[in-house]
Amino acid sequence: MKLRQALVAWAAASVVAASCVNSTPTLDPPFPTTSPASPTRPPARKLLSAAAVADAFVDAINRQDFVAAFTLLDASSRAELTDADELRSRYEAARAIALATRTATQLRGGLLYQDERAAATLVTRWESSLVGAFEVTSTLGLVFDPSAADWRARWTPDVIIPGLASGTLRMEREESTRGAIYAADGTPLATQREFLTIGVQRGAIAGPDEEQRLLDLLSQITRRAPEEIKAKYANQPKDWFSPIADVDEALIDEYYDQIKRFPAMSVRSRFQRHYPHPDLAPHVVGLVGFIPPESLAAYRARGFQGDEQIGLSGIEAAADALIGGAPGGVLKLFSGGYLTVLAERPAVQGRDVTLTISPALQLAAQRLLGERRGAVVVLRAEDSAVLAMASSPTFSQTNITDRAIREGALLNRATQGQYPPGSTFKMVTMAAGIGEGVTTPDEVFRDPGFWDGYGVAFRKTCWLRSGHGRISLQVGLTASCNVVFYEVGKRLQEKSAYVLSAYARKFGFGARTGIELPEAAGLVPDPDWKRQALGEAWTGGDTVNLAVGQGFMLVTPLQVAQMTAAIANGGLMRRPYLIASPRPKPSADPVARLPLPPATLEAIQRGMIGVTRDARFGTTTYRFAGFDYCFDAEGRVVPCHRMPAQSRASARRLIVAGKSGTAQAGGDAQPFAWFTAYAPADAPEIIVTALLENIGEGSSYAAPLVRQIIEAYYGLAISPTPRDRRANE
């Protein structure tokens, strides 16, 4: 192939050039380096003046005061440069090529004299965004001007870098290749595809006639109009390669002889992000795109040109430094037939990343969530690894439509959506009430269907209008009895207006979980927040509202899943995570431990089991009707009725512990439906949390969805989505 042969020839030429890398160009010194046996030293007045001029010149260059530096030059140097702006441009041009973020020059040692000439040794430390820090040693000549009776600096470009006066400074970039993203089973979620791109370097176009011929040829190759082609490079920097179009190798071979006639036209290999399964976990995997304007300066400070693609969302963004790597380069000086490498730093290639996501479970969660607005989070109970995370509306990574953007499909509702938690917060209220000694799991409350703890004028009702009658705190959690938790909230308020908020924070609310994704922190209100945010005092009604997960409180579905995981696994608060590899060795210590004695934790767990099992009080037992599964002798989950009667009696059952929640959305909007659960209740394997926006009660809508996802996890038949709707919390 002509293109491949040309690349081989170019590589061979590079080897020849590299053979000169260790050679040093011969430079004419600014004065004789060998002094006579008895050198004539200038008078002391001239010695101090020469040193002062050298020192003043270095100081002016470091301050980038080129007007001051220009006034210190001798007549011949000033005549060559014409003015201070030209001196500035020489320094700035070298710094631009070297991608220097900072330079600092200092004098080293004393001056050397020969008659009325002197030389100062300069050491300049360069800091380059692409090749790092390096030093250059150069010489500043000085001459005594009899007409002015003073010393002046004699300047050439060699003062910047030796050999620059007769040479060319060039930075050769080495790009990094972006790493791939894989699911837990090795399914590729994001990879790099190689493309051939034909492009133009505007500064290499000889003139209008050549440009027209170049445009005509590019138009033939790309089937694009000349004016469209020109628009792609017209406003780009002269030395930039401006891509015009991706082309097939066969097409390049066909036009190769014509392409090589144009120095400004070249074909380069480039990589483009490819999503083999664009509908699989798009919110988790994320997207790449061009560097946003507000981030451009930061990326250029790291050596990027500015036209690269970086991660903009999901894991692509959160792990961009790991997946994307970093560019490298070699700063070379070609002078007098020699090549000198001034500095180099190899590119850091992007690393492949493997996620914890299970493709089968992920697809099931997405399918079961469907087009309903909301989110699903599935964690592995053992370590809080994310097995599935779905958000709806969703999008395809290869076809992001205007409609998807308008509907907020790019928002990951699992980590960035913020909602009142509703009754899922009652586990926190129960823990606070027991922990602060204002109630016990067995205390019996009376629920007539309403609560007048702050007087009849401030009456609050239970979701069950007829009331639950006499009911204990633990069963009150099972029944999600508002009256019980209003009363616990009032008692906590009497102890301290801050105490319930403090417990909420211990359960992980009001702070980001630390997952490798963009996420919201939510909001835990307290008296200080209300005073600062609203200019109002905190009241007992605020605490009572908070006790049932209403009011100002905001949480993310991931935070609710994290809380549920902590309750399920004995009170250990672990950070949810998505990147399985490469992964730092996890600490043996959990992120935190819930402030729950074993008895309190057990009472909460029993209350959650009752939610799906207690035929009288459980808010979702009607949604788990027929969910009757057992573990057989091999540990497989099977319908209990298929087991022999004798085995069935002693078999371990698959029991789900959960909590429903119905969070008021304000105004006439339908409430948010919550259900969070773990299973099996006796030895938790998975945590499932579902949130559906503006749809209705948690038991009616979110609980069946969680049941279906648990069924999918265990490979069971998926129960149909129920059609009946019942106000059951």
Q: Is residue 478 part of a domain?
A: yes
- Judge whether 201 and 240 are in contact, CB under 8 Å: yes
How many CA atoms lie within 13 Å of 259's alpha carbon, on the beta-carbon side? 23
Give the other-Cβ count within 10 Å of 478's Cβ.
26
User: Exposed (0-12), middle (13-18) or buried (19+): which is 5, by Cβ within 10 Å?
Assistant: exposed
Q: Structurally, how many domains does the chain consist of? A: 3
Backbone angles phi and psi of 563, in degrees to 5: -60, -45
Q: Is residue 201 part of a domain?
A: yes
Q: Is residue 68 part of a domain?
A: yes
For residue 37, is pLDDT > 50?
Answer: no
User: Same domain for 283 and 395?
Assistant: no
Q: Which residues pair with 151 in a beta bridge?
A: 144
pTM of the predicted model as reported, rounded to 2 decimal places? 0.81
The mean pLDDT value for 467-471 works out to 95
Check residue 33 and give its pLDDT: 33
Q: Is residue 3 part of a domain?
A: no
For residue 40, is pLDDT > 60?
Answer: no
Three-state secondary structure call for residue 124: strand
For residue 367, is pLDDT > 50?
Answer: yes
What is the percent of the chain where pLDDT is above 90? 78
For residue 360, is pLDDT > 90?
Answer: yes
Give the other-Cβ count within 10 Å of 395's Cβ.
20
Residues 6+ apart with CB under 8 A from 585: none
Residue 108, domain CATH: 3.10.450.100
Backbone angles phi and psi of 198, in degrees to 5: -95, 135
Q: Is residue 591 part of a domain?
A: yes
Cα(237)–Cα(661) distance, rounded to whole angstroms? 58
72-103 pLDDT tens trace: 999 999 999 999 999 999 999 999 999 999 99
User: Same domain for 386 and 476?
Assistant: yes
- Judge whether 469 and 462 are in contact, CB under 8 Å: no
Residue 666, domain CATH: 3.40.710.10
Given the DSSP bridges, would you call strands 328-335 and 338-345 parallel, antiparallel or unpaired? antiparallel
Cα(65)–Cα(565) distance, rounded to whole angstroms? 62
For residue 43, is pLDDT > 50?
Answer: no
Q: Which of 99, 131, 162 is the last residue of a domain?
A: 162
For the chain, helix (H) and strand (E) counts, in that order, are 24, 29
User: Same domain for 73 and 219?
Assistant: no
Q: Is residue 8 part of a domain?
A: no
Cα(273)–Cα(268) distance, rounded to whole angstroms? 16
| pLDDT band per the 50, 70, 90 thresholds, residue 175 | confident
Check residue 666 and give its pLDDT: 83
Check residue 279 and give its pLDDT: 95
User: Same domain for 390 and 452?
Assistant: yes
| pLDDT band per the 50, 70, 90 thresholds, residue 608 | very high
- Of 576, 693, 579, 591, nearest to 314 by C-alpha is 579
| pLDDT band per the 50, 70, 90 thresholds, residue 39 | very low
Q: At what angle do helices 359-369 and 703-713 cross, to 10 degrees?
A: 160
Q: Is residue 35 part of a domain?
A: yes
194-205 pLDDT tens trace: 888 899 999 999
Three-state secondary structure call for residue 505: helix
- For residue 143, the one-letter residue type is V
Residue at token pair 């097409």: 251
279-290 pLDDT tens trace: 999 999 999 998
Check residue 427 and give its pLDDT: 98
Cα(30)–Cα(119) distance, rounded to whole angstroms? 8
Residue bearing the bigger pLDDT, 42 or 24: 42
3-state helix, strand, coil in the chain (%, to 5): 35, 25, 40
Token pair, residue 511, equals: 């702070």
Give CA 35 to chain center in angstroms: 63
For residue 621, is pLDDT > 50?
Answer: yes
Check residue 575 and give its pLDDT: 95
User: Exposed (0-12), middle (13-18) or buried (19+): which is 208, by Cβ within 10 Å?
Assistant: exposed
The mean pLDDT value for 557-584 works out to 94
Check residue 21 and give its pLDDT: 33
What is the percent of the chain where pLDDT is above 70? 92
The mean pLDDT value for 434-446 works out to 97
Give CA 504 to chain center in angstroms: 27
The mean pLDDT value for 691-698 works out to 96
User: Same domain for 326 and 394?
Assistant: no
Check residue 146 and give its pLDDT: 82
The mean pLDDT value for 337-364 works out to 96
CA distances 413 to 318, 408, 613, 664, Å, are 16, 10, 30, 18
Q: What is the dihedral of CA 723, 725, 728, 729, to 10 degrees?
A: 90
For residue 20, is pLDDT > 60?
Answer: no
Question: Comparing 48-62, 451-465, 563-577, 585-599, which segment has the lowest mean pLDDT?
Answer: 585-599
- Judge whether 344 and 128 are in contact, CB under 8 Å: no
Q: What is the mean pLDDT of the chain?
A: 90
Cα(568)–Cα(680) distance, rounded to whole angstroms? 10
HEC readout, 205-239: CCCHHHHHHHHHHHHHHHCCCHHHHHHHHCCCCCC
For residue 423, is pLDDT > 50?
Answer: yes
Check residue 572 and give its pLDDT: 94
Cis peptide before 421 (omega within 30 of 0): no
Angle, CA of 665, 666 and 668, to the nearest 5° = 100
Which residue blocks in 507-644 are alpha helix, DSSP H? Answer: 527-534, 540-547, 557-568, 598-613
For residue 718, is pLDDT > 90?
Answer: yes
112-151 pLDDT tens trace: 988 899 999 999 999 999 999 999 999 999 999 887 778 9
Q: 226 lies in which domain range?
A: 181-331+348-355
Residue bearing the bigger pLDDT, 401 or 190: 190
User: Same domain for 434 and 518?
Assistant: yes
User: Same domain for 132 and 242?
Assistant: no
Most confident of 203-207, 606-610, 644-648: 606-610
**Radius of gyration over every alpha carbon of the chain, rounded to an integer in angstroms:** 36
Cα(621)–Cα(610) distance, rounded to whole angstroms? 8
User: Same domain for 560 and 660?
Assistant: yes
Check residue 149 and give its pLDDT: 79
User: Same domain for 36 and 106?
Assistant: yes
The H or E element that residue 16 is part of is: helix 2-18
Cα(256)–Cα(199) distance, rounded to whole angstroms? 14
Q: In residues, how long is the chain? A: 729
Check residue 10 and give its pLDDT: 32
- Of 521, 549, 511, nearest to 424 by C-alpha is 549
User: Same domain for 109 and 138?
Assistant: yes
For residue 293, is pLDDT > 60?
Answer: yes
User: Exposed (0-12), middle (13-18) or buried (19+): which is 675, by Cβ within 10 Å?
Assistant: buried
User: Exposed (0-12), middle (13-18) or buried (19+): which is 162, by Cβ within 10 Å?
Assistant: buried
User: Same domain for 406 and 519?
Assistant: yes
| pLDDT band per the 50, 70, 90 thresholds, residue 589 | low
User: Same domain for 501 and 646?
Assistant: yes
Residue 238, domain CATH: 3.90.1310.10
Strands, DSSP E only, in 370-480?
Answer: 374-380, 386-392, 444-447, 450-451, 460-461, 469-472
Cis peptide before 346 (omega within 30 of 0): no
Q: Is residue 213 part of a domain?
A: yes
Check residue 590 and give its pLDDT: 65
